[in-house]
Amino acid sequence: MLLLNMMHVLSHEDAGVVQAVSDQRLERKLKSLLKQSAKMDEQLAELLAATEALQGHTKTAVGEEHSVGHAADEDLGQDEADDAAPLAKKLRKRKWQARIMYHHWKKQAAAGGPCTDMAAFTRLCATNNGKPDGLQDEIPTLFTVELSREVINAHFGFGVLNRPNSVKQLMESETLLAEIRKTSDYVLILETDHVIMKPIPNLATPEMPAAFVFGYMFPQQNQLWVIKKYWPEGTLDKVQPVGPSPVIIHLDQLQKVYQKWLDFSMDLRSNADAEKDIQGWVQEMWGYSIAAASLGIRHKLVENFQVEPGALSAADQLKFFQNGHYYIFHYTYQFEYMLDGKPCQPWTIGEWSLDKRHFNDYHPAYPLPQPPKGANVAGVWLLNAWNEAMAANPKWPKKQPAADSDAPPIQTLYGRRRLDWFSRHANGFAQEISKNTLVKQTAGKRYGCIKEDGGQEDPLEFLSSGDVTIGRHEKLTGRWGAMNDPTIGEERCPIGQCLFVDFAGGGQMMNAHVDGQSLTIYQDHYKVRSAAKRATPTWRCKLDPRDA
């Protein structure tokens, strides 16, 4: 989470908080600094000490003080090995999103000028025993103790509960709150998958937080029983369509609401009772909105607080987007396009696929390829925002190899349609066989294939179901479909003449160039380290005369 203190930003690895300082207070401080240049170094040192104090201490769930110093085994933000522990893998997504968010927070804080409300940034990160994750020297960070695996499992694997649990730990640390209040009495809470698009003013007051309006959070009659379970006097009109991200809230109000927010969220996920009326992924949001309403906390509803666009966004939303109407970009929806620029329908992966979920296990590699011509303005903006943040960070752990390098390219936005689950989805192969010319022509065809190093001919068959088989006695089975990936290269697998052929559930990934009655199969170019081996076919195949 991200706690962005508008003068001191706090960011939680599951969400974030921004602290707001009044223009008047900041202006006075700036004038003082300008008039007392001789004391500038001293005052900057004091600010640095305050930041270090915030980074260096937190209370654990059991009240112990935990030092957030350098750990000898920290990786300073690098991606962990594929066999890393589950916690390490979970932190990967958090790291790259936090890095992108912090870059754009700094950019917009600077754009806001000397009187900006965006004053400071702190990343609030829940880890095992509050252990540092390696980014604390790069991003101001406060580590909290994440909920145990037993607790998470008892709540149906709902890791989002770490958000209110981390805020609880923050609010119960008098030392940390005192440091925060030196610069602001407000925090903006944000999840990490947000990019700040323009300077954010303090939209809240001591009595009224400011929050985004979620269309799917308007209470309905069938949900009233859930409200009354936690708030017997509650009514539908008293519960607002808000969640805890994004929200700007005074610390005094956050002090009132955090415990009920946590308690209600935990109980909602303790059994399946609420699931039939409230989708699981928003139950923690409901925990917050019911808790706030039960305490008489009413939010200012800010419709342009954030935007959640995708490839299928309506023209009106894109017009507002282009005019700079929104403060925050929440990249929760995908930008899925075919290479001809046509947007894909829901539950479809495009030939160009900008989706944060592709990078749950590792950082995206810089630079990401530009979208096809015809992609909407929001997709282009987000792609460039990611690339900008990656380029500006000298510690970004993944970059594409140089053009003259022997190393393989790193997969980012192309070639994602070969995922086994998508191939079997109604929008996968079933659509390709009716719309894609190459797939229609290849379905049902048989080939005779000989390995590059010789041997007997093996029969290969592309079934109309999307399955593929090769071999005589011990057959390999898998899936096949269209593979239009510009990074493969026109010599090996030209656009419009290329298929993917994956065996063993994707364990053996290959690409096939269809050229008339010939078929040349190569190992997937993302997996082969040597350029020479990438250019060497695995099988050379000829169309079975019966299908010619």
Side chain identity, residue 438:
L
Does residue 379 share a domain with residue 513?
A: no
Q: Are strands 186-190 and 352-354 parallel, antiparallel or unpaired?
A: unpaired
Q: How distant is the alpha carbon of residue 47 from its chain centre?
A: 31
3-state secondary structure of 235: coil
Does residue 178 share a domain with residue 72?
A: yes
Side chain identity, residue 449:
C
Lowest-pLDDT range, 16-25, 495-504, 505-514?
A: 16-25
Q: Please, which residues bridge with residue 143 across strands?
A: 125
Nearest-Å Rg of the Cα atoms of the chain is 27
CA-to-CA distance for 40 and 24, rounded, in angstroms?
20
Q: Decide if 68 is inside a domain.
A: yes
Does residue 121 share a domain with residue 151?
A: yes
Q: Decide if 422 is inside a domain.
A: no
Instruction: Return the CATH number at 443.
Output: 2.40.128.640
Q: Decide if 298 is inside a domain.
A: yes
Higher pLDDT, 80 or 168: 168
- What average pLDDT does range 391-402 have in this prediction? 97
Does residue 260 share a domain with residue 276?
A: yes
CA-to-CA distance for 261 and 255, rounded, in angstroms?
11
The CA-based dihedral angle spanning residues 190, 195, 199, 201, taken in that order and rounded to the nearest 10 degrees: -20
pLDDT at residue number 11: 58
Three-state helix/strand/coil letters over 146-186: CCCHHHHHHCCCCHHHHHHHHHHHHHCCHHHHHHHHCCCCE
- What average pLDDT does range 254-262 have in this prediction? 98
Domain closes at, from 269, 303, 337: 303
- What average pLDDT does range 249-265 have in this prediction? 98
| Residue indicated by tokens 């239009």 | 484
DSSP-assigned letters across all residues of 43-58:
HHHHHHHHHHHHHHEE
- Is the model's pLDDT at 45 over the cut of 90? no
- Is the model's pLDDT at 156 over the cut of 50? yes
- What average pLDDT does range 513-532 have in this prediction? 96
Q: Decide if 320 is inside a domain.
A: yes
For residue 481, the enclosing domain spans: 436-547
Does residue 347 share a domain with residue 481?
A: no
pLDDT confidence of 178, banded at 50, 70, 90? confident
Q: Report whether 223 contacts 157 (CB < 8 A).
A: no
Does residue 175 share a domain with residue 33?
A: yes
Q: How many domains is the chain partitioned into structurally?
A: 4
For the chain, the average pLDDT equals 87
Read off the pLDDT of residues 188-200 as tens digits, 9 standing for 90 and up: 999 999 999 999 9
CA-to-CA distance for 200 and 117, rounded, in angstroms?
7
| Residue indicated by tokens 């049902």 | 444
Number of C-beta neighbours around residue 22 at 10 A: 17
Domain closes at, from 303, 318, 335: 303
